[in-house]
Amino acid sequence: MKLLSNSRIWAIAVIMFSGLVYVAGCTRDNDMLVPIKLTQPFAPNRGNAILLPGNMTAGNATEWKLDKAHSSVLWSGAYIGAAGLLTGRFNQFGMHNVVDAEMINYVTTGQPLKDSSWSFYESDPSKTHINGYVQINTSNTGEPGRDGGCNISSLGTTVIVTGTQNLTVTNLAKIRSTKVELDPASNGYIVTLELTWKGLLAQPLTKTLIGKLNYVPKSTPTGATYDVFGLQLTFQFNKADFGITSTNIGDKISIECNMNFNNK
């Protein structure tokens, strides 16, 4: 009987040992499992669109024109001491590389200069470039008392003259792209640009900034005989760099340029 009991004990011990070996083996196998990657790396989806202004000839479908009436340049900044934003837009803007000789007053109600200083290559951003400007005194917050009053003095410019487009040095802020690259995290682009503005300084200052460019692909509106596309550029700058101080709005100013084009 004692021998039988020892045999049973021995058998139980063998079974337990085998179980431990199996468990240990499974544990090692589990350690070697590669976890499933739920988030896949971004896969860009870009076409080969090449969009150029040419001479902006009416009726030439290969030459793209800025649709200013459906475009906008918006600004926003934190309202100091409050949770909300101060916001506005510039009523007058364009896509022209304004050189010194062109920085004058223009007696016109339309675009003073041709909006042709840009190009867009969807798959080759090294060939893409963007130039633009805004007339500072056309900042529009929707509050006439501010727009024609304190904004004029605090931004170092002059009041609007009816029928005149003011592109003088005291009223002009310009941007110029120096490099456009593919954004590895989206279908958009990373833009290195220069912002030139006098503000309250003695002379205009140029600051290098980084922005983001998005392309809204070319399409044909329902029932239309022409095509459209869009470019959206966003960036930020520090107003204090240009001598602007304020007890109302924070230093960081965000700019959003929504440029729409057609080939009418």
For residue 21, what pLDDT band results from cuts at 50, 70 and 90?
very low
- Mind giving me the DSSP string for the chain? -HHHHHHHHHHHHHHHHHHHHHHHHHHHHHHTPPPP--SPPP-------EE--TT--TT-TTS-EE-GGG-EEEEEEEETTSSSEEEEEES-EE-----GGG-SEEE-SS-SS-S--EEEESS-GGG-EEEEEEEGGGEE-S-HHIIIIIHHHHTT-----TTEEE-SGGGEEEEEEEEEEE-TTSSSEEEEEEEEE-TTSSS-EEEEEEEEEEEEEEE--TT-SS-EEEEEEEEEEEGGGGT---SSEEEEEEEEEEEEEE--
Give a yes or no: residue 33 inside a domain: no
Question: Does the pLDDT at position 64 exceed 90?
Answer: yes
pLDDT digits (tens, 9 = 90+) for 101-130: 999 999 999 999 999 999 999 999 999 999
Question: Does the pLDDT at position 259 exceed 90?
Answer: yes
What pLDDT score was predicted for residue 31? 56
CATH for 231: 2.40.128.110
Give a yes or no: residue 72 inside a domain: yes
For residue 3, what pLDDT band results from cuts at 50, 70 and 90?
very low
Give a yes or no: residue 183 inside a domain: yes
Give a yes or no: residue 39 inside a domain: no
Give a yes or no: residue 27 inside a domain: no
Least confident span in 10-19, 57-66, 163-172, 211-220? 10-19
Q: Range of 148's domain?
A: 50-262
Give a yes or no: residue 24 inside a domain: no
Give a yes or no: residue 7 inside a domain: no
Give a yes or no: residue 123 inside a domain: yes
Number of Cβ within 10 Å of residue 104's Cβ equals 13
pLDDT digits (tens, 9 = 90+) for 131-190: 999 999 999 999 888 888 888 989 999 999 999 999 999 999 999 999 999 999 999 999
pTM for the full predicted model: 0.83
Please give the C-alpha separations between residue 254 and each of 38, 164, 209, in angstroms, as whole numbers. Answer: 34, 27, 12
Share of the chain above pLDDT 90, in %: 76
- Residue 182 CA to residue 186 CA, distance in Å, equals 8
Q: How many domains does the chain have?
A: 1
* Torsion over CA: 126, 219, 91, 257 (sign): negative
